[in-house]
Amino acid sequence: MGFQQIEMPDHFGLDSTEPEADRLIGVANEQIERFMLSDQEVIENFVTCDFHLTQCALQWIRDNHLLTGERFCELGSGYGVVAMLAARMGMESIGIEIEQVLVDEANALAAQLSNDAAFHCGSFIPRETLENLDMDREIRNVTIEEDDVYREIGLAMNDFDLFFAFPWPGEQVFFERVVDKWAASGAMLLTYRGRDGMQLQRKD
């Protein structure tokens, strides 16, 4: 497996926040709270990352001209806030989410905010992934299901320049293996690691 780690600052500083991004995050947080308090069945695998920290990381990647292109994909996009932050920066941005109700919420929020991110229902794991993926540990919080959603979108994993994911503890390696198998050389994987902050890797 070939990834190069890219060191990011531990703290990005207050100047990395932007009023428009803050507004997007504020509106999204209100809607997520409303959604969580509604009568919806609990979606156990859905928790949100630190949107402010992730926005700072996206801006830092942008400011340092690290991307090979403009296509962004959030793997397991939940409410889609990170994909919307990437779209706000001018990226061609999509999210893939397995829970239809979250896809509907994300698309409705994007429409409300006039944000160009698009959300698609399906599994981010392409067909012919799992048989070759030597997984030595159990994956509990990703739905292990292969799908043709990229074909429906009209793009393949190797068309994207930056992936974002919020893996549950111990499941980072699964995302790395999927990206390593299918992404283009030079594509980047940004992950939110909870207490350990953000991690950025570039595929060899």
Q: Where are the alpha helices (DSSP H) in 9-158?
A: 19-37, 51-63, 81-88, 100-112, 149-153
Of the candidates 25, 71, 74, 200, which one interacts with ligand SAM according to CB under 6 A? 74
Question: Binding of ligand SAM at residue 123 (CB under 6 A)?
Answer: yes
Of the candidates 143, 185, 193, 196, which one interacts with ligand SAM according to CB under 6 A? 143
Of the candidates 24, 61, 76, 188, which one interacts with ligand SAM according to CB under 6 A? 76
Least CB distance from residue 163 to ligand SAM, whole Å?
11
Least CB distance from residue 175 to ligand SAM, whole Å?
10
- The closest alpha carbon to 96, from 117, 75, 81, belongs to 75
**92 phi and psi, to 5 degrees?**
-85, 105
Interacting residues of 50 by C-beta distance below 8 A, sequence separation 6+: 192
Footprint on residues 167-196 left by ligand SAM (CB under 6 A): none
Helices first, then strands: H and E counts in the chain: 6, 9
Query: What is the total count of residues that contact ligand SAM (CB under 6 A)?
Result: 24
15 or 161, CB closer to ligand SAM? 161
Residue 17 burial (10 A CB sphere; 0-12, 13-18, 19+): middle
**60 and 9 Cβ atoms separated by less than 8 Å:** yes
124 or 160, CB closer to ligand SAM? 124
Footprint on residues 19-58 left by ligand SAM (CB under 6 A): 43, 45-49
Segment interacting with ligand SAM (CB under 6 A) among 10-18, 19-27, 91-99, 181-189 = 91-99
Task: Record the tokens describing residue 106, joined without a space.
Answer: 């994300």
Q: Which residues bind ligand SAM (CB under 6 A)?
A: 43, 45-49, 74, 76-78, 81-82, 96-99, 102, 123-125, 142-143, 145, 166
